[in-house]
Amino acid sequence: MPTLVHISDLHFGTERPEIAAALREELQARPPTLVVVSGDLTQRARTRQFAAAADYLRTLPGPQLIVPGNHDVPLFDVARRFLAPLARYRRHIGEGVDPVWEGDDLLVVGLNTARSLTWKSGRISREQIDWLEERLTGARARHKVVVTHHPFIPPPARDSDQAGIRLVGRAALAMAVIDRCGVDLLLSGHLHHGYSGDTRTQYPAARRGVVAVQAGTAISGRVRSDPNGYNRILLAEDRMSVEVRTWRDGAFTTLQVAEYRRGETGWQAAAG
């Protein structure tokens, strides 16, 4: 059964060393099938921040699949932002910004949603949507996962910080492909807020339930409503568990575990 560790929004330049060390120890003690990093490795896309992020990622277990976030595109260096927005990311982290990882039972596809023009808000291009469909069509993996930095679903309606949240651009077009091609799981970050849910709450025309999982900020001091944390996800043939590990009293502990079951219409939350 594949296990994914989902971390996001490391924001090197604002990292807390004690949390970074504790996360490294946790992952080394319990290595997953794949470590997924859903963007914002740096705070301001500076060379030293990318170098620190790369050094840290090398201490975590492999394999890893990493996508950039909007903070990995320069904000104040306007020339670099528009002429070479991900040059430092490519130099220090990896050339591929739409990476793919495939194992025996698992296909994970990353999409770069960071954009120079709409710096904070992310977007998926039509070319990426076509490429995603081509990559997913005919894939034999039991589980299919798509990773972006920007989210597909907002926080639960009860959360006071939902107002003003913008989902990834062209989400509905991408969701049509995700639905049609049998994707099981979407992993994102950006909001520094951890939650998970059925995408049909946002896209009611979908034929299948897909689980969307958001990660909070793993190690940065830029916390919002949530403490630092990450997700550990177990994928079985007909069930999925999403364990939220959160930083509390100097250690990572389990905050909650959400269970999902696969049925004839895709994934849905398990009763109880």
Mean local confidence (pLDDT), 78-95: 85
- Quote the pLDDT of residue 84: 78
Q: Are 214 and 270 a contacting pair, CB within 8 Å?
A: no
**For a pLDDT cut of 70, what percent of the chain falls above it?**
94
Tell whether the model's pLDDT for residue 48 goes beyond 70: yes
Top-confidence residue, 135 or 82: 135
Residue 204: burial class (beta carbons within 10 Å; 0-12, 13-18, 19+):
exposed
- Quote the pLDDT of residue 121: 81
Tens digit of each residue's pLDDT (9 = 90 or more) over 182-200:
999 999 999 999 999 999 9
Q: Are strands 211-214 and 229-235 parallel, antiparallel or unpaired?
A: unpaired
- What does the DSSP assignment read for 185-213? EEEE-SSS--EEEEGGGT-TT-SSB-EEE
Mean local confidence (pLDDT), 5-21: 98
Mean local confidence (pLDDT), 246-269: 95
Tell whether the model's pLDDT for residue 22 goes beyond 90: yes
- Indicate the pLDDT class of residue 90, thresholds 50, 70 and 90: very high
- Quote the pLDDT of residue 120: 75
Tens digit of each residue's pLDDT (9 = 90 or more) over 234-257:
999 899 999 999 999 999 999 999
Tell whether the model's pLDDT for residue 81 goes beyond 80: no
Q: How far apart are CA 80 and CA 87, in angstroms?
A: 9
Q: How far apart are CA 57 and CA 72, in angstroms?
A: 15
- Quote the pLDDT of residue 272: 60
Torsional class of 138: left (φ above 0), alpha (ψ -120 to 50), beta (otherwise): left
Tell whether the model's pLDDT for residue 77 goes beyond 90: no
Tens digit of each residue's pLDDT (9 = 90 or more) over 103-115:
989 999 999 999 8
Three-state DSSP class for 271? coil
- Quote the pLDDT of residue 160: 47
Q: What is the mean pLDDT of the chain?
A: 93
CATH architecture of 3-269: 4-Layer Sandwich (3.60)
Cα 141 to chain center, whole Å? 20
